[in-house]
Amino acid sequence: MTVTKGESAREGADDKGDMTGGAGVSGDGYTPSERRLARERYTRTRARRATAVAALSTLVTAAVLYLVVVNAPGWPRTKETFFSAHYAREALPKVLEGLWLNVCLLLVCGAAVLVLGMLIAVARTLRGPVFFPLRVLAAAYTDFFRGLPLIINLMIVVLGVPALRLQGVTVDPVLLGGTALTLTYSAYVAEVFRAGIESVHPSQRAAARSLGLTNRQALRYVVLPQAVRRQVPPLLNDLVSLQKDTGLVSIGGAVDAVRAADIIVGRSLNYTPYIVAGLVFVALTIPMTRFTDWVTARTDRRRAQGGTL
């Protein structure tokens, strides 16, 4: 529906007349014009039509995919190997029991990653020649662990540290795996924090200094609060990735959700427990992902409106 300039002007005049005491105003308040009511009916009609088309398209796509899969020559064997109801029922309690370890690793490692990442980011942004060695070490840390694949880092820490036979050093695969996860993700989170710190305009620090705050106080009370608020969406994305990667600690023998599924697979030679473990991780990740999307959209709206981030 195309609206000409003259129609738009007349419509605005109608709405204005309605709001300022024209014929469309009742004794109790504002009454929308017929043109506005027609426009709202048209908008609702289009929304219902779009919803119906989307639902129909989704159903057709799902039906086509289902027919393609179930009519494949190897579907009976694949169904028996990967989608066995018997092994799914057997694996689910064990996988959920092992999932508790993944959740604990997420909570502990997530907190450690945030603290260590913040310290590294602050070290990289310190000013003055006296802090040059600290900046170099922080930069070397982030470059090394961001470039080192996580699986290799886990193997080095989980398998290499016990081989050293150091006195007083734990050989628990859960603790060593959590350490490897913290080392890797701290490098990524440190860069997120550093980007947030550098996004704060220098005038903020200068204003804080003009009010009598020291450099440390300006960083703590002025710069860091703004930097953290701006970087909440990417930080949540990193935590979502950390939640999935906690399953990699199973390479050291820790019995988490993935290892519990692997034990059943090794005994039964049926891969359904892997599907169960994957679906459990997906179910755990989706709420975090949707929350991240909501925070990102909220931040974008506030930025577009010129509000405080």
Contacts of 212-216 spanning 24+ positions with Cβ under 8 A? 215/127
Confidence of residue 26 (pLDDT cuts 50, 70, 90): very low
Handedness of CA 225, 228, 231, 237 (dihedral sign): negative
Please list, residue by residue across 68-100, b when 16 or more beta carbons sit within 10 angstroms of its beta carbon and e when fewer do. eeeeeeeeeeeeeeeebeebbebbbebbeebbe
Q: What is the pLDDT of residue 218?
A: 85
Q: What is the pLDDT of residues 232-280, one digit of tens each?
A: 888 888 888 998 899 888 888 888 899 999 999 999 889 999 999 999 9
Q: What is the pLDDT of residues 52-71, one digit of tens each?
A: 999 999 999 999 999 998 88
Q: What is the pLDDT of residues 153-203, one digit of tens each?
A: 999 999 898 888 888 888 888 999 999 999 999 999 999 999 888 888 888
Let me know the angle formed at the C-alpha of 78 by 73 and 79, rounded to the nearest 5 degrees.
Answer: 110
Residues present in the chain in total:
309
Q: What is the pLDDT of residue 11?
A: 47
Mean pLDDT on 94-104: 92
Q: What is the pLDDT of residue 309?
A: 53
In this predicted structure, the answer to whether residue 22 has a pLDDT above a threshold of 50 is no
Question: Comparing 11 with 73, which gets the higher pLDDT?
Answer: 73
Q: What is the pLDDT of residue 2?
A: 43
Picking from 88, 1, 80, the residue whose alpha carbon sits closest to that of residue 38 is 1
- How does the average pLDDT of the chain come out, rounded? 85
In this predicted structure, the answer to whether residue 16 has a pLDDT above a threshold of 70 is no
Can you tell me the distance from the alpha carbon of 157 to that of 152, in angstroms, rounded to the nearest whole number? 9
Can you tell me the distance from the alpha carbon of 264 to that of 91, in angstroms, rounded to the nearest whole number? 7
Q: What is the pLDDT of residue 163?
A: 87
What's 249's DSSP letter? G
Q: What is the pLDDT of residue 306?
A: 63
Q: Which tokens sit at 208?
A: 């804080």
Q: What is the pLDDT of residues 117-131, one digit of tens each?
A: 999 999 988 888 888
Let me know the angle formed at the C-alpha of 307 by 305 and 309, rounded to the nearest 5 degrees.
Answer: 120
Rounded to 10 degrees, the C-alpha dihedral 270/271/276/280 comes to: 150
Can you tell me the distance from the alpha carbon of 182 to that of 52, in angstroms, rounded to the nearest whole number? 47
Mean pLDDT on 67-77: 90
Q: What is the pLDDT of residue 299?
A: 74
Q: What is the pLDDT of residue 308?
A: 52
Q: What is the pLDDT of residues 33-58, one digit of tens each?
A: 888 888 989 999 999 999 999 999 99
